[in-house]
């Protein structure tokens, strides 16, 4: 059996997520305390007692989802459940890097805190939206994006066969929907995120985050990690700092990452986070 851990990103959050585990496991609670000491953010209160609006703010979502994922890892560690390889969707890549020991717990938490702040505070003015496009090929979605003339829209998350996320302004997304429906796309669903993530619109966030990465010391990988930027496994020659900075303004190739893990012989995928989206992604990738 070859196991892969899959870690979620922004959009998977919900009030109360992980409360049952928090109440049951001391190891789980300790992670929340460690994150609070590092960030000065009370993730417990934010996640269990806050509002959806506050939790959905990028600076809060990213640290909350990371904390839950890291806490679940402690429970799995207690029961000797380990992975040979891991991947994360956007934000989730940081959980992978921490799990692999390439990035320390403290540095990883600090980076995600800064990443969330930059991605929230340096978004250009505008009414930004993200939407999941279901039932269309990657190439079709990209071609529709090119046809949009009024506004901005770009394909940003390639999740699995038949599911691509697009990001843009309200006008661009609206025109995209019209063109897509004319071409027979069966469903487009707006997401609980609001920013032109993984597009050039976040160039300033990427630049500032690159400066933060200069202070981080990365170590050798203890387990394999898939890169979002190209769906390949990190190698010793990769410039991790450059990759993570560019990650903010480049599309997420999660589907290619799943294909790579299957190619590597992974037969067991374990999704670690608030929801069960990845299981569906895996099935669609395997059955392609």
Query: Using CA atoms, how far apart are residues 248 and 156, in angstroms rounded to an integer?
Result: 10
User: Does the active-site annotation cover 247?
Assistant: no
Overall residue count recorded for the chain in this entry: 288
Which residue is catalytic, options 56, 96, 167, 198? 198
| Torsion of Cα atoms, 180 then 186 then 190 then 195, to 10° | -40
Query: Using CA atoms, how far apart are residues 280 and 288, in angstroms rounded to an integer?
Result: 12
Which residue is catalytic, options 90, 154, 205, 255? 90
User: Does the active-site annotation cover 198?
Assistant: yes
Q: How many CB atoms lie within 10 A of CB 27?
A: 16
CA atoms within 13 A on the CB side of 139: 0
* CB contact at 8 A, 247 and 87: no
List the catalytic residues: 90, 198
């Amino acid at each position: 059996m070859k196991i892969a851990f899959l870690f979620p990103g922004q959009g998977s959050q919900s009030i109360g997520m992980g409360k049952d585990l928090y109440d049951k496991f001391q190891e789980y609670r300790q992670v929340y305390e460690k994150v609070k000491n590092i960030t000065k953010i009370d993730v417990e209160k934010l996640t269990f007692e806050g509002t959806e609006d506050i939790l959905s703010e990028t600076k809060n979502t990213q640290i909350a989802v990371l904390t839950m994922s890291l806490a679940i890892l402690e429970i799995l560690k207690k029961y000797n459940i380990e992975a040979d390889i891991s991947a994360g969707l956007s934000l989730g890549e940081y959980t992978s890097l921490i799990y692999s020991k390439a990035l320390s717990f403290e540095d990883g938490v600090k980076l995600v805190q800064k990443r969330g702040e930059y991605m929230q505070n340096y978004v250009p003015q505008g009414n930004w939206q993200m939407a999941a496009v279901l039932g269309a090929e990657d190439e079709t979605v990209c071609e529709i994006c090119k046809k949009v003339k009024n506004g901005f829209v770009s394909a940003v998350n390639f999740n699995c066969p038949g599911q691509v996320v697009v990001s843009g302004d309200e006008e661009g997304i609206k025109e995209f929907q019209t063109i897509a429906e004319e071409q027979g796309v069966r469903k487009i669903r707006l997401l609980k995120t609001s920013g032109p993530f993984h597009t050039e619109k976040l160039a300033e966030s990427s630049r500032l985050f690159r400066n933060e990465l200069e202070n981080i010391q990365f170590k050798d990988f203890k387990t394999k990690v898939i890169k979002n930027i190209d769906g390949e496994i990190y190698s010793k020659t990769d410039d991790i700092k450059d990759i993570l900075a560019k990650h903010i303004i480049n599309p997420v190739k999660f589907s290619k990452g799943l294909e790579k893990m299957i190619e590597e012989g992974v037969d067991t995928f374990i999704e670690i986070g608030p929801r069960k989206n990845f299981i569906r992604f895996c099935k669609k990738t395997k059955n392609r």
